[in-house]
Amino acid sequence: MERRIYLDNASSTSVSSEVLNEMMPCFTSFYGEPSKSHAFGREASGLVERSREKIAKSINANAKEVYFTSSATESNNWAILGLARANRSKGNHIIVSKLESESVLACCKQLETEGFDVDYIDCDSEGLVSLIELLHYIKDETILVSISAVNKDIGTIQNIKTLANIAHDKGAIFHTDASMAVGFVKLDVVDMGIDAMTMSAKAIHGPKGVGALYVKNGVEIEKFMLGSNEEFGMRAGSLNVPAIVGFGKAVEVATRDIVVNNQKLKGLRDYFVRNVTEKIEYIKVNGHQYQKANNILSLSFEMINSESLMALLDLNGISVSASINDDMTPNNTLKAIHLGDEYIYGTIRFSFDKSISKDDVDYVIDTLTKQVAKLRAMSPVTKTGRAK
């Protein structure tokens, strides 16, 4: 049987047996519409509310502050558009970092067409958002600051509590996309000063197609979809009960196992980095050296095409992610950290999971070393003139 190793867990994970077992009765026994008042509806509604409570507990929130969505993308859309439009009477200025996901940046571009003023602030070479720039750009008219908790491309963990404090000093709402943080970083919305937060199930062994948005009680936000009265009247549409139940269980398990999982992931990642950097020349490790999620590793290989390397790894049963856009341009994170031209097109993200073994990692190290050597043999001299 062909060996297959999945190292794209930041994109999506397998659904764990614990989560799947929790979901299965929703397909066969508890299939009622949760908005209905009959027995079947009440059963389904009870399952939804228990999941809501599990997620709220994991972030130190009230259950009525958690709204279910179809994805992190939807949660980001609702947060950015809904918060900005609902608070326009207080000002029209928004601040986001250049590191944000496309769903956040696209919403900001839309708001600019509606007359909002948006500033996109820089970060340093390790991916930490500049506090100085935030202090420089924030003003009395600022109504919203949005900065992701963990960068999905390089794994850098932001100083969320400090960033939120700066936003609050000017009376601005603070939103964070925590879809890459849930299950890997301890989140406390009260202690960290978070007003709105995006979450997702698919990176923590939950099902795809379900997310959540935390909105602090008292924070004004527009309704996202119209037509019926689900989610406390704020988002219309039938709820995906099996996915929501799976999401709740995934968060419960991830929170329960966060310490042991992080210990294993850090060990695997550090072992991988140590061996790869010893065996392969002209390689750059991206992200903060210490303040980084343990499951995400971004490596840049000098004068290597990431799409070619990803394809060769795939042929050898290893699935990774090339940090490149659909139009073959580098993604916004690599541009924001000012990665040099010799590295920026050769960046691969390896995202680990607790199921990966040391033997798997050794196979990836050996295969990666061979495939990089193969590509470099086709182009023996780098842009900087170094012979291979």
Report pLDDT digits (tens) over 297-317: 999 999 899 999 999 999 999
Q: Provide mean pLDDT across the span 197-204.
A: 97
- Predicted pLDDT at 325: 74
The Cα–Cα gap between 353 and 183 comes to 12
pLDDT tens digits for range 57-73: 999 999 999 999 999 99
Whether residue 381 is predicted with pLDDT greater than 80 in this model: the reply is no
The whole-chain average pLDDT of the chain stands at 94
- Condensed to tens digits (0 to 9), the pLDDT of residues 74-107 reads 999 999 999 999 999 999 999 999 999 999 999 9
> Taking 60 as the threshold, does the pLDDT of residue 174 lie above it?
yes
DSSP class of residue 63 equals: G
For residue 155, give the amino acid letter: G
pLDDT band at 329 (very low <50, low <70, confident <90, very high): confident
Q: How confident is the model at residue 327 (pLDDT cuts 50, 70, 90)?
A: confident
25 forms beta bridges with none
Please determine, for residue 326, whether its predicted confidence score (pLDDT) is greater than 80. Answer: no
Rounded alpha-carbon distances, angstroms, from residue 355 to 6, 184, 229, 313, 359:
10, 15, 41, 19, 11
Query: Average pLDDT, stretch 45-66?
Result: 97
Per-residue pLDDT of 116-142, as tens digits, reads: 999 999 999 999 999 999 999 999 999
Q: Mind listing the pLDDT tens digit for each residue in 214-271?
A: 999 999 999 998 888 889 999 999 999 999 999 999 999 999 999 999 999 999 999 9
pLDDT greater than 70 at residue 382: no
Q: How confident is the model at residue 387 (pLDDT cuts 50, 70, 90)?
A: very low
Residue 66 makes CB contacts below 8 A (sequence gap 6+) with 52, 55, 56, 212, 213, 214
Which pLDDT does position 380 carry in this prediction?
A: 56
Tell me the whole-structure pTM to 2 decimals. Answer: 0.94
